Chains A and B, each alone.
Chain A
């Protein structure tokens, strides 16, 4: 078996269909008799529902039904189950499918309107009369910590839902003996997600059996099934959930949403198919958002710039509900100490409820925040001591000879966190070489001649990938000789189909075109977790490899029996098992599959188990750690404050690459997302929790005209923790990118400029800083 496809930059099997406009996204599904849903949503951030009058709306043309939570009383009631229960959250803070007593952020769904067109449903939704008693709202997490602040949930006695701790070592002792201690305050602003496809659900009910079928634009179809079944007190087998083509996920689509439940409940009630397609305005007020946090950190370091310890506190803006438990704040704490070998760490994080849309993981979850904090502190130390920024890192990073390295942190199950492999200093050195940092002063001078301020930024990161517990895959050879892979792993553009086919085609000696993939349909594969946390290559990729090897072993056993040749003398190639060195002495996989499909009345040859197929689950018991070092150059226009990223170089190590083209695509998109976080994306609310940036005219996303080319260089340190040696690649582009850009802007503004401890930064802010100099 030779690797023909694994590691090759083959073009994607997904592409032709999508390019020809033949993709099938959820809004492309049409069912006979289908009704269209629109939601009545809260127009202010906190209020008590007194009454909902649907009578005028119900009388409007084309309207079939309008439901509130009270209408579902005979089917189900109460809040939705938490996706990830956490012991610190004694009472889950989850949505009701439709708000029944209190609304807690602008956009919370209150009623669902069904009509024969989306336009008519929207017209009728506007005619539903809400009587809502105004309650004071809180939109700022820091103010929400004040004992006198309004409560985001009126029945709570505090807005602090949980206080989480993390750390190791004797922080007080390390700080006491440190040469230097600095304290900095950081502000990382809330942003959105903005997959180009909004969310959407199409559901229908089998009128004979009552079984539900749901297509949803989700990263977690199995979680939708599990939690909906629990809520409806049904067997999971009565609910089929699948994801069609999904137009981007980036994290928020991993949640199980109130709208998914509300549509399912409406279908049970009205017994007709229902489609709901989120519009972009709804996306701004009802899809979870990202990582608003403030931090106050002390850092202890020595005269050489070696970082020894960090302590501090975070105020984490959780928004109004915690559908995903404490996953996001937990990720923030778990991302320490990054690439730094610290002696001690002592962190406390308050999870604060506000009357805003909930936050949940968005590309990188809170890892980009922590990369921002650590890299900003490293730059701050260098500036304080007057030494090179890279020296602080070289002296403070975990060294390659320390691998595997126990950081001092503990995983969720209490086991020690240990970095599996890597060379963080090597990656930093390489990226500085590639960007030609040595000659940067000349480029800075050249820019100055043109009236521009040029800065060099650097940032590194470590990323835990391959989150457990598992994904699985089945591999089956059909009697036509085609290989069918089924897996629970849902896809939102990552090219899973191509990557899985590459893995299986090598093991089974077939061509890529002979492999078809069926993913994310609960009727096609029994179990799945979620496409999150850069985990699918590790978990599902390994499962495909393991299952394909089982199929291979079975094919060889069959051929050995038929050809009367020792198994060691057989190999797979060209869609057949043949004797090594004698290609003509072979049995085709199609023939084996046909025989193992059985013939009436005939015994199975060699009493073999029927079907040329196998299933495998890879249990990802230990995280595998990807890492990267980034460097970029920006030019600032001192008159306008305009910031251009003119060069961006990535060094990245995600272990063995299944498909370097796909990996590069993940990194490029990720970096651009991070540049957006640094310079553009700002979700603004007023004091009353009203969102002020709900169009793409107000909320800026990175556009092609503002983006540089992203140069990528790979290091390839195979992970010892899975059979294919891979580490995740989905978020490593984003994680250090905002830190890298801000580092460059700070460098451009010069030694008299500010220490930049927030993002995004705007041209106005830059001009203000320059005027202050």
Chain B
């Protein structure tokens, strides 16, 4: 198959790459660009582990073809923070024990990152519905939900 060129913004950097038209965004990020923070849990669009942010919206990177990101702004977990300088949301996951095995975590973070930008003051019910497309088998969700509520409360205090 003929490879296509795509140009896009990835975690704030302008990028260009060649990609096979049938490669989905998740595989492209992981295997072509080496950004293995995005995880593939079901590859049929339900589990949400592969969620990344494209043009501000959370999307399942297993359901989007890499060629579709032409001209788009893509954000992955690697853009949120580093191990020694975690983002507020990432740090809230630490404090609230919002992760165990860590596999669903990047998808949870990206879903919530996009959600909290548009909904600064969610209720607990709102947060639970916001992550109802992300499966976690380890935590029972409570720490994740509390992390999001804590971040929202902190941001509300600042404004």
Is B54 on the interface with A (CB-CB < 8 A)? no
* Residue interface bits B27-52, CB-to-A below 8 A is 1, else 0: 00011001111111111101101000
Q: Which residues of A contact B102 (CB under 8 A)?
A: 14-15, 18-19, 23, 245, 247, 493
Whether B94 lies near A21 (C-beta < 8 A) is no
Whether B137 lies near A280 (C-beta < 8 A) is no
Whether A196 lies near B135 (C-beta < 8 A) is yes
Is A609 on the interface with B (CB-CB < 8 A)? no
Checking A16, A24, A248, A664 against B138 with a beta-carbon cut-off of 8 angstroms, the contacting residue is A248
Closest residue on chain B to residue A21 by CB atoms: B37
Whether B77 lies near A669 (C-beta < 8 A) is no
Whether B86 lies near A671 (C-beta < 8 A) is no
Checking A15, A28, A279, A705 against B128 with a beta-carbon cut-off of 8 angstroms, the contacting residue is A705
Q: Which residues of B contact A697 (CB under 8 A)?
A: 44, 46
* Residue interface bits A1-31, CB-to-B below 8 A is 1, else 0: 0000000000110111111111111011010
Is B61 on the interface with A (CB-CB < 8 A)? no
Q: How far is the CB of A202 from chain B (nearest CB, A)?
A: 13
Query: Using a Cβ–Cβ cut-off of 8 Å, how many residues does chain B contribute to the interface with A?
Result: 58
Q: A12-B94, A672-B140 are in contact. Are A280 and B41 (CB under 8 A)?
A: yes
Checking B38, B44, B95 against A280 with a beta-carbon cut-off of 8 angstroms, the contacting residue is B44
* Residue interface bits B60-86, CB-to-A below 8 A is 1, else 0: 000000000000000011101111101
Q: Which residues of B contact A250 (CB under 8 A)?
A: 137
Is A194 on the interface with B (CB-CB < 8 A)? yes
Considering the chains assembled together, what is the distance between the CA atoms of A12 and B82 in angstroms? 16
Checking B41, B83, B134 against A22 with a beta-carbon cut-off of 8 angstroms, the contacting residue is B83
Whether A701 lies near B137 (C-beta < 8 A) is yes
Whether B42 lies near A280 (C-beta < 8 A) is yes
Is A661 on the interface with B (CB-CB < 8 A)? yes
Whether A669 lies near B83 (C-beta < 8 A) is no
Whether A704 lies near B132 (C-beta < 8 A) is yes
Considering the chains assembled together, what is the distance between the CA atoms of A281 and B42 in angstroms? 8
Q: A21-B38, A662-B97 are in contact. Are A196 and B43 (CB under 8 A)?
A: no
* Residue interface bits B115-139, CB-to-A below 8 A is 1, else 0: 0000000000001110110111111
Q: Which residues of A contact B106 (CB under 8 A)?
A: 21
Q: Which of B2-10, B141-149, B151-159 contacts A (4 or more CB under 8 A)?
A: B141-149
Is A673 on the interface with B (CB-CB < 8 A)? yes
Query: Using a Cβ–Cβ cut-off of 8 Å, how many residues does chain A contribute to the interface with B?
Result: 56
Whether A19 lies near B109 (C-beta < 8 A) is yes
Q: How far is the CB of B92 from chain A (nearest CB, A)?
A: 10
Closest residue on chain B to residue A672 by CB atoms: B140
Considering the chains assembled together, what is the distance between the CA atoms of A671 and B38 in angstroms? 27
Q: How far is the CB of A193 from chain B (nearest CB, A)?
A: 8
Closest residue on chain A to residue B101 by CB atoms: A493
Most buried by B among A21, A248, A696: A21
Whether B93 lies near A15 (C-beta < 8 A) is yes
Checking B36, B41, B76, B81 against A196 with a beta-carbon cut-off of 8 angstroms, the contacting residue is B41
Q: Which residues of B contact A707 (CB under 8 A)?
A: 128, 140-142
Most buried by B among A280, A704, A707: A704
Considering the chains assembled together, what is the distance between the CA atoms of A753 and B24 in angstroms? 50
Q: Which residues of B contact A247 (CB under 8 A)?
A: 39, 101-104
Is A119 on the interface with B (CB-CB < 8 A)? yes
Q: How far is the CB of B8 from chain A (nearest CB, A)?
A: 18
* Residue interface bits A707-735, CB-to-B below 8 A is 1, else 0: 10110000000000000000000000100
Is A494 on the interface with B (CB-CB < 8 A)? yes
Is A43 on the interface with B (CB-CB < 8 A)? no
Whether A665 lies near B143 (C-beta < 8 A) is yes
Is A103 on the interface with B (CB-CB < 8 A)? no
Whether A671 lies near B39 (C-beta < 8 A) is no
Q: How far is the CB of B141 from chain A (nearest CB, A)?
A: 4
Considering the chains assembled together, what is the distance between the CA atoms of A17 and B85 in angstroms? 11
Q: A196-B41, A669-B139, A696-B46 are in contact. Are A16 and B86 (CB under 8 A)?
A: yes
Considering the chains assembled together, what is the distance between the CA atoms of A665 and B142 in angstroms? 9
Q: Which residues of B contact A669 (CB under 8 A)?
A: 100, 136-140
Q: Which residues of A contact B37 (CB under 8 A)?
A: 20-23
Is A176 on the interface with B (CB-CB < 8 A)? no
Which A645-683 residues sit within 8 Å CB-CB of chain B? 661-662, 664-665, 668-673
Considering the chains assembled together, what is the distance between the CA atoms of A631 and B142 in angstroms? 18
Q: A696-B44, A704-B132 are in contact. Are A248 and B101 (CB under 8 A)?
A: yes
Whether A196 lies near B139 (C-beta < 8 A) is no
Checking A198, A246, A668 against B101 with a beta-carbon cut-off of 8 angstroms, the contacting residue is A246
Q: How far is the CB of B125 from chain A (nearest CB, A)?
A: 8
Most buried by A among B46, B47, B138: B138
Q: Which residues of B contact A661 (CB under 8 A)?
A: 97
Whether B100 lies near A20 (C-beta < 8 A) is no
Whether B141 lies near A279 (C-beta < 8 A) is no
Whether A196 lies near B136 (C-beta < 8 A) is yes
Is B22 on the interface with A (CB-CB < 8 A)? yes
Is A215 on the interface with B (CB-CB < 8 A)? no
Q: Which residues of A contact B83 (CB under 8 A)?
A: 16-17, 19-20, 22
* Residue interface bits A22-47, CB-to-B below 8 A is 1, else 0: 11110110100000000000000000
Whether B84 lies near A16 (C-beta < 8 A) is yes
Q: A21-B36, A21-B78, A662-B97 are in contact. Are A704 and B144 (CB under 8 A)?
A: yes
Most buried by A among B46, B101, B127: B101
Whether A696 lies near B101 (C-beta < 8 A) is no
Q: Which residues of B contact A19 (CB under 8 A)?
A: 77, 81, 83, 86, 90, 93-94, 99, 102, 105, 109
Q: A16-B84, A701-B135 are in contact. Are A195 and B22 (CB under 8 A)?
A: no
Is A495 on the interface with B (CB-CB < 8 A)? yes
Whether B94 lies near A16 (C-beta < 8 A) is yes
Whether B104 lies near A196 (C-beta < 8 A) is yes
Most buried by B among A24, A197, A673: A197
Considering the chains assembled together, what is the distance between the CA atoms of A695 and B80 in angstroms? 31
For the complex with contacts A15-B94, A19-B83, A245-B102, 14 further pairs of A-B residues with Cβ separation under 8 Å are A17-B83, A19-B105, A21-B36, A25-B39, A119-B23, A196-B103, A197-B41, A248-B138, A280-B44, A704-B127, A704-B131, A704-B141, A705-B132, A709-B142
Instruction: Give chain B's interface residues, CB within 8 Å of chain A.
Output: 22-23, 30-31, 34-44, 46-47, 49, 76-78, 80-84, 86, 90, 93-95, 97, 99-106, 109, 127-129, 131-132, 134-145
Could you list 26 A-B pairs, sorted by A, with CB under 8 Å?
A18-B99, A18-B102, A19-B94, A19-B105, A20-B37, A20-B80, A20-B81, A21-B80, A27-B40, A194-B135, A197-B39, A198-B41, A247-B104, A248-B138, A280-B44, A281-B44, A493-B101, A661-B97, A665-B97, A669-B100, A669-B137, A670-B140, A696-B135, A701-B137, A707-B140, A707-B141
Instruction: Give chain A's interface residues, CB within 8 Å of chain B.
Output: 11-12, 14-25, 27-28, 30, 119, 194-198, 245-248, 250, 279-281, 492-495, 661-662, 664-665, 668-673, 695-697, 701, 703-705, 707, 709-710, 733
